[in-house]
């Protein structure tokens, strides 16, 4: 499903990693841990088609072109980008939707209690820079968007970093439930968030070392 073949990435004359290879099977749950700045987020953005490797090849379901990779993955990054649209349009990105599906996703992403306090509910406009949102709210909307897309591959970059412990636990449970049949790559500082994952790697000095 995801194949990295001798991938190297250089940014501003700094080599983040060289000749990195990794094969992830369809339906596998993979965790990547490591210190801040070690390249975990960069690797995820490469898998998402947001960055191009300096050398080597990245294949997602056989596709190597960024535009095609983007269609096949859902990604939740640390600082999610929200658009100056309504909550529901940020979740669906303009696609048609069924009310029941949106209700289930809003419940699963712990958005319901907050949305219920808004006069316009899911049709509330977020503003040009989403300044009216907390970091946790923005992150939960990004998670809801990923759930709605239902891509075969889910890429998570510290998806619960802005959430408190209770929200964090329930969101992780919801993610696991929604991704039972999907390929998942989860970048995190917290190894305990990877319980039940098939494999875990430690990224250090541009190298992925197997943890389990």
78-124 tens-digit pLDDT: 888 899 999 999 999 989 999 999 999 999 999 999 999 999 999 99
- Comparing 88-102, 145-159, 165-179, 183-197, the range with the smallest average pLDDT is 165-179
Q: Which helix (H) or strand (E) holds 120?
A: none
Question: Are 200 and 190 within 8 A, CB to CB?
Answer: no
Question: Are 145 and 82 within 8 A, CB to CB?
Answer: no
Q: Rounded to whole angstroms, how far apart are CA atoms 99 and 191? A: 36
**Parent domain of 51:** 2-210
CATH number at residue 187: 3.40.50.300
CA angle 159, 164, 169 (to 5 degrees): 65
Question: Are 124 and 117 within 8 A, CB to CB?
Answer: no
Q: Place 129 in a pLDDT band, splitting at 50, 70 and 90.
A: low
User: Is pLDDT above 80 for 132?
Assistant: no
pLDDT attached to residue 134: 85
pLDDT attached to residue 1: 87
User: Is pLDDT above 70 for 131?
Assistant: no
The number of domains in the chain is 1
pLDDT attached to residue 130: 64
């Amino acid at each position: 499903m995801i194949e990295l073949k001798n991938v190297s990435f250089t940014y501003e004359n700094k080599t983040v990693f060289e000749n990195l290879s990794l094969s992830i099977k369809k339906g596998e749950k993979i965790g990547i841990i490591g210190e801040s700045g070690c390249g975990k987020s960069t690797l995820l953005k490469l898998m998402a088609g947001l960055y191009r490797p300096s050398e080597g090849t990245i294949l997602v379901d056989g596709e190597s072109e960024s535009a095609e990779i983007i269609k096949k993955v859902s990604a939740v990054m640390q600082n999610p980008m929200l658009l100056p649209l309504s909550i529901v349009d940020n979740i669906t990105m303009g696609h048609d939707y069924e009310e029941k599906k949106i209700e289930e996703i809003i419940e699963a992403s712990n958005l319901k209690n907050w949305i219920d306090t808004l006069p316009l509910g899911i049709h509330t406009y977020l503003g040009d820079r989403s300044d009216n949102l907390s970091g946790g709210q923005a992150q939960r909307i990004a998670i809801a968007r990923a759930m709605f897309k239902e891509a075969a591959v889910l890429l998570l970059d510290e998806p619960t970093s802005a959430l408190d412990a209770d929200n964090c636990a329930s969101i992780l449970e919801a993610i696991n439930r929604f991704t039972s049949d999907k390929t998942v790559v989860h970048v995190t500082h917290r190894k305990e968030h990877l319980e039940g994952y098939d494999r875990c790697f430690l990224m250090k000095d541009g190298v992925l070392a197997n943890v389990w």
